[in-house]
Amino acid sequence: MSSLRVEKVLRQLGQDIQVARKKRRIPVKDFAARIGVAEGTVIRLEKGEPGTRLETLAMALLALGELPRLERLLDPASDDTGLMIDHANLPKRIGRTRKPITGTATLPAIGQDSDEGTAF
């Protein structure tokens, strides 16, 4: 049910994990033990098979010292599309409220004194 683009990205991610593991000189057997899965699961992860659990990916990144990359994956502060939507939804004008909301204190008009001191 996956798209070709998703499959390509998963294969690349798997290859990148394999390269990172090899650069750190971690054998598949040891890597599997570190992330708590069978060796076959590591092999499937490194092939980019789509059925691999997200937790396995996260544990692999943790073992490689790269978990912060996953933590920042969809950081709202870096979500350009989300930021553009927020900006587009800003009100065009901000007017005064016509009647105070019940149950809240009202501020005195500017320049008027109140019982609690001088208004700002």
Q: What is the predicted pLDDT for the residue at 66?
A: 97
Largest CA distance in the chain: 77
Q: What is the predicted pLDDT for the residue at 17?
A: 98
Q: What is the predicted pLDDT for the residue at 33?
A: 98
Residue-range domain boundaries for the chain: 4-71
Cα distances from 48 to residues 9, 12, 33, 38, in angstroms, run 8, 7, 19, 16
Please give the backbone phi and psi of residue 11, each rounded to the nearest 5 degrees, phi first: -60, -45
Band (pLDDT 50/70/90 cuts) for residue 107 is: low
Question: pLDDT tens digits, residue range 21-64?
Answer: 999 999 999 999 999 999 999 999 999 999 999 999 999 999 99
pTM: 0.69
Band (pLDDT 50/70/90 cuts) for residue 95 is: confident
Flag whether pLDDT at 96 surpasses 90: no
Flag whether pLDDT at 119 surpasses 60: no
CATH number of this structure's domain 4-71, picked from the four choices 1.10.1740.10, 1.10.260.40, 2.102.10.10, 1.20.58.220: 1.10.260.40
Band (pLDDT 50/70/90 cuts) for residue 116 is: low
